[in-house]
Amino acid sequence: MPHVDFKPVADGIYCVETGLYRPGLASCYVIRAEDRLAFIDTGTANTVPALLQVVDALGLTPADVEYVIPTHVHLDHAGGAGALMAACPRAKLIVHPKGAAHMIDPAKLTAGATAVYGEAAFARDFGALTPVAPERVIAADDGQLFDLAGRSLMFIDTPGHANHHGCIYDAASGGVFSGDTFGISYRELDTESGPWLFAPTTPVAFDPDAWQLSLDRIMALAPRAVFLTHYCRIDEPARLVDDLRRSIRDLADIAKREEASADAGRQQRLEQAITRHLIDDARRHGCRLEEARIRELLAVDLALNAQGLEVWLRRRARDRS
């Protein structure tokens, strides 16, 4: 049986490496309360065997999984949800109402992701998506509470990165499972100043104004920690949130500077501008890694951020017409 990389990050909370692209890029979480489990995000379909090994390592069985909760239906967060649900006979899937239909019938999700990543990469990195039976899906209301053996989990509607994004507030830890709403922060880029955060503007629903309001909602809870999908736990979110707010504004401004330019080559120009901006920002934060190493760590995000900003510019043009 292969080694599964998971570790405790708070009382009853475990961070699990999902194995997407490279170690340290994507994680998901298991919450344990008594003999009940909840998964927050799932990684891809390729991750599910490792998740079931974590269940076994905790001395429990798939029948003890109460909830599977993807923060949103992007495949690094929800690609394995259907397969995990198939393996966990008692589990309910909790998801944003705008994402529920894609979990029940993932055909459009598959088509959209294939368009972004390409057919071969989609098959290699994400695997096949498994539908979830409608009667096992809960389309969560904003503020809805879910009981995990006495542990209260609250769903919060947090658009901005995606219009179907929800975060989970865990009252026991005082932490928020933020998906992508509290940004990306890779541990290799930590410095003496602490974590370095930036905004993922992944296709297709970047909305900088809604995102800022979602951060307001999170910070109103005065969280003690944020559990990032990319990557793991960070502390003192009140000290870090302004860095993320600035990143959202900066990336939107980079896109706006291209707004009057011809579409031809625009995505390439966006990627070049984003690359320079993020490397310079990491340097200002005190990162001393070689530039080639920073580019390597950010390679996936640079391409996806550029694609997302290009989609946003096209949407803005349609809205004005």
Residue pLDDT, tens place only, 228-267:
999 999 999 999 999 999 999 999 999 999 998 877 899 9
- 276: its two tokens: 């320079």
What is the per-residue pLDDT for 228? 98
CATH number for the segment(s) 6-241? 3.60.15.10
% residues pLDDT > 90 (the chain): 90
Task: pLDDT band for 320, please (50, 70, 90 cuts).
Answer: confident
What is the per-residue pLDDT for 1? 41
Q: Averaged over 144-162, what is the pLDDT?
A: 98
Answer yes or no: is pLDDT of 169 > 80. yes
Q: Report the C-alpha dihedral over residues 9, 13, 18, 22, rounded to 10 degrees.
A: -10
What is the per-residue pLDDT for 113? 83
| Helix/strand/coil for 37 | strand
The predicted-structure confidence for 64-101, as pLDDT tens digits, reads as follows 999 999 999 999 999 999 999 999 999 999 999 999 99
What is the per-residue pLDDT for 2? 52
Task: pLDDT band for 46, please (50, 70, 90 cuts).
Answer: very high
Residue type, 18: T
Chain centroid to Cα 172, Å, comes to 22
What is the per-residue pLDDT for 112? 83
Task: pLDDT band for 217, please (50, 70, 90 cuts).
Answer: very high
**Using CA atoms, how far apart are residues 188 and 174, in angstroms rounded to an integer?**
25
DSSP assignment letter at 136? G
Q: In what side-by-side order are the strands of the sheet with 65-69? A: 6-10, 13-17, 27-33, 36-40, 65-69, 92-95, 137-139
Q: How many CB atoms lie within 10 A of CB 272?
A: 12
Q: Where are the domains of the chain?
A: 6-241, 242-320
List the end-to-end C-alpha distance of the chain, in Å, as a whole number: 57
Out of 194-198, 220-224, 238-242, 263-267, pick the least confident: 263-267
Out of 10-14, 20-24, 110-114, pick the least confident: 110-114
Answer yes or no: is pLDDT of 312 > 70. yes
Interior/surface letters 120-153, b for 16+ CB within 10 angstroms, e for the rest: eebeebbbebbebeeebbbbbeeeeebebeebeb
- 244: its two tokens: 């993320």
% residues pLDDT > 70 (the chain): 99
Mean pLDDT score across all residues of the chain: 96
With 0-12 CB in 10 A as exposed, 13-18 as middle and 19+ as buried, what is 114? middle
Task: pLDDT band for 115, please (50, 70, 90 cuts).
Answer: confident
> Is residue 181 within 8 Å of residue 161, measured between CB atoms?
yes
